[in-house]
Amino acid sequence: MTDVKSKVAVLLAILVVAASGQAPRIRVTPNEGAKRVDITIDGKPFTSYIWPTTIKKPVLYPLRTVTGTLVTRGFPLDPRPGERVDHPHHVGLWFNHGDVNGFDFWNNSYDIPADRQPKMGTIHHRRIVEAKSGDDRGLLTVEAEWIDGAGTALIRERTQLVFAGDSDSRTIDRITTLTALAHRVVFRDNKEGTFGMRVARELEQPSNTPEVFTDASGHASSVPVLDNKGGSGLYRSSQGKTGDAVWGTRAPWTLLGGTIASEPVTIAILDHRSNPGYPTHWHARGYGLFAANPLGQKTLNDGNVEITLPLEPGQSATFRYRVLILSAAPDPRRIELESQVFNAGSR
């Protein structure tokens, strides 16, 4: 029945466009057979919501600037020459967490050995609720389920994605409501979280030393040194922290600025004041992981105070974030203004 409703909603959206006689600027086009929804702005590809069987959660992939420049890493779906091939669970732009009732939804990928798979969680796309094109914004509402390693559905997820753009910017709002199903669910304080993206090689921060990063379960991933001519990125938070100093700190927003093929690029992630754990911690790594983690107080700061989020059966929590992708050099004043506008409401 839900599949029928989804198809009717898509058909109605198409009929509305046809009746208007003019294609909307921002088009949201489902292709359920290919497990994707494509978003274009002014006739140019922006991103796609995808749920292939090769990854363990739905993601937005890839992400582009106004000019079409790719700002997300290609690996593992579409590897590009010279980019890193670590952390295969870092795909596009995603939302999950490293410890939900003891199950790890963050690190799950095709590369997990058999002995660790029972402790991994998977997010399954279930249906498209609404796909709506428009001149000022496009809307995509989807439902998914968070399934633990034993096959039990822990959480129903309902996510609305709002897409917009103008002459030098692309914007994504993500509003995700998580509802506990039959069992109590606890999001525990964990380093691996929560709303994140993996950026293109050119937006990585230059580095002169190899690194080994250990996840919350003690499993290590090596990140080797690459030619620094490929990286131009620099993080800056609303609290004035820059570079690697941003990692583990709390702030309402953080930007990442750099250059790709002579095009200035700024990506900013904005936290909303209504979110659990506001202002969020930043799990922002120089090798290209850019993530807002609202539930990492203890693990990111080696402290004694934990942030946990318990949900009783039927209880919900909502998270709101905005991602800005600008074809412009970093301007903290502009991002601060965008943050104030975002926090003044939730469009």
Please tell me the predicted confidence (pLDDT) of residue 327.
98
> Could you write out the DSSP letters of every residue in 219-287?
-EEEE----GGG---EEEETTS-BGGGGTT-B-SEEEEEEEETTEEEEEEEEE-TTSTTSSPEEEE-TT
Indicate if the pLDDT at residue 41 is higher than 50.
yes
Which carries the bigger pLDDT value, residue 224 or residue 233? 233
Q: What is the mean pLDDT of residues 5-33?
A: 69
Taking only the tens place, the pLDDT of each residue in 74-120 is 999 999 998 999 999 999 999 999 999 999 999 999 999 999 999 99
Please tell me the predicted confidence (pLDDT) of residue 347.
45
Out of 51-60, 207-216, 257-266, 300-309, least confident range: 207-216
The sheet that has 234-237: what strands, in order across it?
122-132, 138-147, 153-165, 169-180, 316-326, 263-271, 253-260, 234-237
Please tell me the predicted confidence (pLDDT) of residue 214.
55
Tokens of 307: 């942030």
Residue 237's nearest CA partner among 137, 332, 140, 164 is 332
Q: In the chain, pLDDT over 70 holds for what percent of residues?
A: 87
Taking only the tens place, the pLDDT of each residue in 124-177 is 999 999 999 999 999 999 999 999 999 999 999 999 999 999 999 999 999 999
Burial 212-235 (b: 16+ CB within 10 A, else e): eeebbeeeebebeebeeeebbbbb
Q: What mean pLDDT value characterizes the chain?
A: 91
Residue 195's nearest CA partner among 251, 271, 258, 112 is 271
Indicate if the pLDDT at residue 190 is higher than 50.
yes
Indicate if the pLDDT at residue 346 is higher than 80.
no
Indicate if the pLDDT at residue 277 is higher than 80.
yes
Please tell me the predicted confidence (pLDDT) of residue 245.
97
Model's pTM, two decimal places?
Answer: 0.90
Q: In the chain, pLDDT over 90 holds for what percent of residues?
A: 82
Indicate if the pLDDT at residue 7 is higher than 60.
no
Indicate if the pLDDT at residue 22 is higher than 60.
yes
Indicate if the pLDDT at residue 282 is higher than 60.
yes
**∠ Cα 135 141 145 (to 5°):** 160
Indicate if the pLDDT at residue 281 is higher than 60.
yes
Residue 80 carries which DSSP code? -
Taking only the tens place, the pLDDT of each residue in 229-246 is 779 999 999 999 999 999
Indicate if the pLDDT at residue 16 is higher than 80.
no
Taking only the tens place, the pLDDT of each residue in 297-310 is 998 887 788 999 99
Chain position carrying tokens 């290609």: 74
Question: CB–CB of 292/298 below 8 Å?
Answer: no
Domains of the chain: 2-343 (2.70.98)
Strand-pairing partners, residue 176, are: 159, 319
Q: How confident is the model at residue 9 (pLDDT cuts 50, 70, 90)?
A: low
Indicate if the pLDDT at residue 311 is higher than 50.
yes
Taking only the tens place, the pLDDT of each residue in 262-275 is 999 999 999 999 99
Out of 55-64, 187-196, 216-225, 322-331, least confident range: 216-225
Q: How confident is the model at residue 1 (pLDDT cuts 50, 70, 90)?
A: low
Indicate if the pLDDT at residue 18 is higher than 50.
no
